């Protein structure tokens, strides 16, 4: 059903206040957040979010991966819900808006429906997906991946952080292991509002990103085995230097990604040396290569070239080389009808907009495997994200939430 009417607006001040209140939980050291998944800070953020949902009259369901589903009833008990959400967990040095804008923007849409006395045919379910970031427990989008049938729950429960703690044990510890079977819920559609986490929208002067696709990803975990040795007394020709092999593989990742431009990225964000002592050559080096592209063939070609060249580098140095894919999703095409709803909402509201391919991965990528799904994006300052300096404006947040609100209503169908 077509919707119109100037009154279909959200309360940007209320949304901004909620963002700032959530940002107080798990503060970082430089103005951002460290609210990593299944930590006490995550539990505190979940409790605050639940209290707001209680105030908005939503009923809560939690599945056995810890994902929170907050329901606003529709008029048709047989109609599948429209799901709208993102994630409240952050990177260790994360920003205040990555994920959080999507969860609280969805809550603001519901709050505005309440204010305006809007009834919808389809129920609305606001979602806080557990462990989207994959910073503490790889891979990213773990809970939505189990929901979409990509990972087993046993695999997910066994994922370990750097201290050897498992997802399953930490979920129990913080008291957020629900009783719903993961993936039992069926979605009519899924929308996600997110900051762009890149520089395009701001550079182009656009308020809204109409997200048509998301680039695909490989996370390749390399385990290199050298020989621990004294950094002072071991002659150069006697060294089996896993650190040297890692350095050459990192350079290779850079070369392969640059050669695959446009539409390719590659880098490494995490590595561990063992024994990680200043005067011991590492016996073991473990690091994860993150490569991405919207083009399937290019993505898989980069993986193949990096693995082949890494093996040759390790052979030359005499270092053992093992590789495990610890994260992956193919490039995603979002649902054209939902994408059209986002574009139409932006036009109705008078917001400038452009088509966008998401550089970052999102829970919407897995939701798209089980339901029609799409995303709405707003700019972020200088494209900075996964950095405590991440910043957006209240106007950008309001515009994004307003477009989300109208697109969701288009799909959920207002009942007069």
371 is an interface residue for ligand HGY by CB under 6 A: no
Nearest distance in Å: CB 140, ligand HGY = 4
Phi, psi of 202 (to 5 degrees): -65, -45
32 is an interface residue for Mn ion by CB under 5 A: no
98 is an interface residue for Mn ion by CB under 5 A: yes
192 is an interface residue for ligand HGY by CB under 6 A: no
Binding residues for Zn(2+): 87, 98, 133, 194, 386
Binding residues: 87, 98, 133, 194, 386
Q: Which residues pair with 85 in a beta bridge?
A: 127
Neighbours of 153 (CB within 10 A): 17
Pull the structure tokens for residue 200: 């395009």
- Per-residue burial over 199-211, b if 16 or more Cβ lie within 10 Å, else e, is ebbbeeebbbbbb
Q: Of 120-128, 130-138, 235-243, 315-323, which part binds ligand HGY (CB under 6 A)?
A: 130-138
Nearest distance in Å: CB 375, Mn ion = 10
**Tokens 């490989």 appear where?**
218
Q: 291: Cβ–Cβ under 8 A, 6 or more apart, which residues?
A: 217, 218, 220, 253, 256, 257, 264, 265, 266, 299, 302, 303, 306
Partner touching 32 among ligand HGY, Mn ion, none, CB below 5 to 8 Å by kind: none
Q: Of 120-128, 129-137, 221-229, 306-314, which part binds ligand HGY (CB under 6 A)?
A: 129-137
Partner touching 139 among ligand HGY, Mn ion, none, CB below 5 to 8 Å by kind: none
Q: For Mn ion, how many residues bind (rule: CB under 5 A)?
A: 2
196 is an interface residue for ligand HGY by CB under 6 A: no
Phi, psi of 411 (to 5 degrees): -80, -35
Tell me the CA end-to-end span of the chain in Å, nearest whole number: 11
Q: Of 127-135, 145-153, 294-302, 399-407, which part binds ligand HGY (CB under 6 A)?
A: 127-135
Residue 100, CA distances (Å) to 95, 194, 210, 329, 396 in order = 9, 8, 19, 22, 14
Partner touching 99 among ligand HGY, Mn ion, none, CB below 5 to 8 Å by kind: Mn ion
Alpha helices by DSSP H, 134-241: 142-147, 153-158, 167-174, 200-204
Rg value, the chain, Cα: 22
Q: 47: Cβ–Cβ under 8 A, 6 or more apart, which residues?
A: none
Q: Of 10-18, 133-141, 180-188, 334-342, which part binds ligand HGY (CB under 6 A)?
A: 133-141
State how far the Cα of 320 lies from the Cα of 225, in Å rounded to an integer: 5
Nearest distance in Å: CB 365, ligand HGY = 9
Residue 352, CA distances (Å) to 7, 12, 67, 105, 199 in order = 20, 18, 33, 19, 16
Query: Is the CB of 99 or the CB of 216 nearer to Mn ion?
Result: 99
198 is an interface residue for Mn ion by CB under 5 A: no
Query: Is the CB of 360 or the CB of 380 nearer to ligand HGY?
Result: 360
Residue 41, CA distances (Å) to 107, 134, 151, 357 in order = 20, 16, 26, 32
Query: Is the CB of 91 or the CB of 398 nearer to Mn ion?
Result: 91
Asked if 113 and 406 count as a contact pair (C-beta separation under 8 A), the reply is: no
132 is an interface residue for ligand HGY by CB under 6 A: yes
99 is an interface residue for Mn ion by CB under 5 A: yes
134 is an interface residue for ligand HGY by CB under 6 A: yes
Q: Of 131-139, 160-168, 180-188, 278-286, which part binds ligand HGY (CB under 6 A)?
A: 131-139
74 is an interface residue for ligand HGY by CB under 6 A: no
Partner touching 379 among ligand HGY, Mn ion, none, CB below 5 to 8 Å by kind: none
State how far the Cα of 184 lies from the Cα of 147, in Å rounded to an integer: 8
Whether the link from the prior residue into 98 is cis, omega within 30° of 0, is: no
Partner touching 243 among ligand HGY, Mn ion, none, CB below 5 to 8 Å by kind: none
Binding mask 137-156 for ligand HGY (x = CB under 6 A): ---x----------------
361 is an interface residue for ligand HGY by CB under 6 A: yes
The residues of the shown chain that bind Mn ion, judged by CB under 5 A, are 98-99
The residues of the shown chain that bind ligand HGY, judged by CB under 6 A, are 132-134, 140, 360-361
């Amino acid at each position: 059903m077509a919707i119109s009417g100037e009154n279909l607006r959200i309360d940007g001040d209320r949304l901004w206040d909620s963002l700032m209140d959530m940002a107080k939980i798990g503060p970082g050291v430089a103005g951002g957040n460290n609210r990593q998944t299944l930590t006490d800070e995550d539990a505190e953020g979940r409790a605050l979010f639940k209290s707001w949902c209680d105030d908005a009259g939503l009923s809560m369901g939690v599945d056995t991966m810890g994902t929170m589903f907050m329901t606003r009833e529709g008029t048709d008990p047989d109609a599948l819900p429209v799901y709208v959400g993102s994630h409240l967990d952050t990177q260790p040095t994360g920003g205040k808006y990555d994920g959080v804008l999507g969860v609280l923007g969805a809550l603001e849409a519901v709050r505005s429906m309440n204010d305006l006395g809007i009834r919808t045919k389809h129920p609305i379910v606001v979602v806080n997906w557990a462990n989207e970031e994959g910073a503490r427990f790889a891979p990213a989008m773990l809970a939505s991946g189990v929901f979409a049938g990509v990972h087993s729950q046993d695999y997910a429960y066994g994922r370990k952080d750097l201290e050897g703690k498992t997802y399953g044990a930490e979920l129990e510890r913080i008291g957020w292991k629900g009783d719903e079977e993961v993936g039992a819920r069926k979605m009519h559609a899924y929308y996600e509002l997110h900051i762009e986490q890149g520089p395009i929208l701001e550079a182009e002067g656009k308020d809204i990103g109409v997200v048509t696709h998301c680039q695909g990803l490989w996370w390749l975990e390399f385990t290199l085995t050298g020989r621990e040795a004294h950094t002072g007394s071991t002659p150069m020709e006697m060294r089996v230097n896993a650190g040297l092999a890692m350095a050459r593989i990192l350079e290779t990742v850079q070369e392969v990604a640059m050669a695959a431009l446009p539409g390719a990225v590659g880098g490494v964000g995490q590595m561990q040396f063992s024994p990680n002592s200043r005067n011991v050559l590492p016996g073991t080096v473990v690091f994860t290569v993150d490569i991405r592209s919207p083009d399937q063939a290019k993505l898989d070609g980069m993986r193949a070239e990096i693995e082949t060249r890494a093996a040759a580098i390790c052979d030359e140095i005499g270092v053992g080389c093992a590789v495990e894919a610890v994260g992956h999703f193919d490039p995603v095409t979002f649902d054209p009808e939902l994408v059209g709803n986002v574009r139409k909402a932006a036009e109705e509201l008078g917001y400038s907009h452009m088509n966008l391919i998401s550089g970052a991965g999102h829970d919407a990528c897995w939701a798209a495997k089980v339901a029609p799904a799409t995303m709405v994006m707003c700019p972020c300052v200088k494209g900075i994200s996964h950095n405590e300096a991440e910043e957006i404006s209240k106007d950008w947040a309001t515009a994004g939430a307003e477009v989300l609100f109208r697109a969701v209503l288009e799909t959920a169908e207002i009942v007069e």
